[in-house]
Amino acid sequence: MMKIAVAQVGSIKGAAAENAEAVVRWIEQAAGEGIVLTVFPECCLTGYVYNDRAELEAAAIAADGPEIERIRAACAEASMHAVVGLFEADGGRVYNTALLIGPDGVIGRHRKRHLPFLGGDRFVDQPEGIEPAVFDSPVGKVGLAICYEIRFPEVVRTLVLSGAEIVVLPTNWPVASRILADLFTPVRAAENFVYFLAANRNDNEDGTAFLGSSQIVDPIGKVIAHAGTETGLFSADVDLERARNKTIIFESGEFEIAPFKDRKPETYRL
């Protein structure tokens, strides 16, 4: 068993250094609670609601910049792994990115591919590559997706088929997206027999109110931690063996469900 958490926190638009310091404080608190993986919201380091490309470029930060190094150092001090979101500047391009960071640095990166017409996502660049964002780590095999990508069942299924035991979704769900928190999140966990962590914010940025409802869901779709509208760390103890077992036996030899074994991908073509 290990303890993992979602951090339901707000961000200050365009204040990456200040946001990074806030992340560090939450990491320190999480370590004191015995947490080994903490997931922060989408774009928690940069803010999200940008209204043109120039404004977005001015706020974007590098994935190897001082803010990330500050978080890495905090992870090293706390023996923590953390997932943080940012608008990432890279060679004149800007991506909506999630980073899995450990004591030794960045373990993995996912650049959001499915982009809604909302906030800064209206102005980011489309990333290259199609490889699933699944990374081996001391806290298990972690799959990364971002916010709107929960609407695409193929995204999470591909992560799990690639070995993910924990799927992490940093998100900036506005109030109008409640269906994603209430319905999509437990369904994605249950249909893939995987732990699913959705970390949202609960504040207001430039007139956009965010929903909260950060949560941890177990492999049968049971919500085992839920933030409501509160600020803080919300944790649960998890057993990754449950996510590795893709068969449910109700009665041995009589009633067994094994959706992954029973898949027929050759029949799914259009």
pLDDT in tens, 23-79: 999 999 999 999 999 999 999 999 999 999 999 999 999 999 999 999 999 999 999
Q: Quick check: 53 and 36 in contact, CB under 8 A?
A: no
pLDDT at residue 117 in the model: 97
Closest CA to 173 of 146, 206, 133: 146
Q: How many CA atoms lie within 13 A of 97 on its CB side?
A: 25
Report, in angstroms and rounded to the nearest whole number, the Rg of the chain calculated over CA atoms: 18
pLDDT at residue 248 in the model: 86
pLDDT at residue 97 in the model: 99
pLDDT tens for 107-117 read 999 999 999 99
Residue 167 backbone class (left: φ over 0; alpha: ψ -120 to 50; beta: rest): beta
Q: What is the CATH number of the domain that holds 159?
A: 3.60.110.10
Query: For the whole model, what pTM was predicted?
Result: 0.97
| Residues of the chain falling short of pLDDT 70 | none
Q: What is the domain range of residue 185?
A: 2-267
Number of domains observed in the structure of the chain:
1
pLDDT at residue 233 in the model: 99
